[in-house]
Amino acid sequence: MTRTPAVATPAKARLTFAGVVRSEWVKLRSLRSSALSLAGAAVILIAVGLIFAATFGSDSDGANGVTEPTGVTLTGGMFAQLIVGVLGVLSVSSEYSTGMIRSTLTAVPSRVPVLAGKVVVVAMTVFPVMLASAFVVFFAGQALMSGNGHPSATLADPGVLGALLGSAVTMTGVAIMGLASGTLMRNTAAAISTLVALVFLVPGLGSLVLPASWRDDVLKFLPSNASDAFTSISPAANLLGAGGGAAVFAAWVVVPLLAAAVLLRRRDV
């Protein structure tokens, strides 16, 4: 009696974090809104910076009181932050709106690697683009101001390189805050509204409604003011130090991410 040889079964494919990252990259790249948002943020950063640089010294320059040459060219960062924040929200909320999140979490049962993969992809997409845009607007803006007879800065000047790097870090951080907000709320409109309120509206409203005696003590811990502490060439006296500002801003990014990771594990979807 002859024995039938055993047929070898293929080994079950291992799920690796690199595979999760590749999958998240494919999903982000396939979203048309991702490319449009990233391009829009770069264009806004450059265009606004050049407008302020070209009109610097006139009555209509309107650079929010910024007179330092590097700060003038980076004025568009506040608008670019809004756009990359929306990109961060959409990187996760789009999956909830289409129902694709069910397939994603089924493929990665431990779930947290999905969130970590999204963070890696968003950070590696936003940071280099915004850093390159910051350098472009810096060099072009300084050339404009110098050509108009106004003071200009160079990379060799103290704090300039840190300001350019810090601006890209800030925009990347806001994008990740948007990602965390989208994960926590699972709704695009609610997540974007929360992000806009926290980063853009609360500082202004706080200046209006908080008592003057402790206004500065509160507002300096908001994400926008914390980032100003480590991206400004000459930070205002009412801001935290550069190290403190970086730590506070990092907390605004990390804490929502940790909350998002916890809820992602506990929720059904």
Please give the mean pLDDT across all residues of the chain.
84
Closest alpha carbon to 217 in 194, 248, 254: 248
> What's the CA gap between 44 and 25, in Å, rounded?
24
The predicted-structure confidence for 233-247, as pLDDT tens digits, reads as follows 877 778 888 888 899
Torsion, Cα of 28, 259, 188, 41 (10° steps) = -50
The structure's pTM equals: 0.86
Instruction: Identify the DSSP state of 42.
Output: H
The predicted-structure confidence for 155-164, as pLDDT tens digits, reads as follows 888 888 999 9
> What's the CA gap between 166 and 173, in Å, rounded?
10
At residue 11, the pLDDT reads: 40
Contacts of 79 (CB under 8 A, 6+ apart): 44, 45, 48
The predicted-structure confidence for 21-59, as pLDDT tens digits, reads as follows 898 888 888 888 888 999 999 999 999 999 998 887 654
At residue 129, the pLDDT reads: 95
pLDDT band at 140 (very low <50, low <70, confident <90, very high): very high
Q: Over 50: is that where the pLDDT of 7 sits?
A: no
At residue 193, the pLDDT reads: 92
Mean pLDDT throughout 149-175? 88
Contact indicator for 33, 90 with CB cutoff of 8 Å: yes
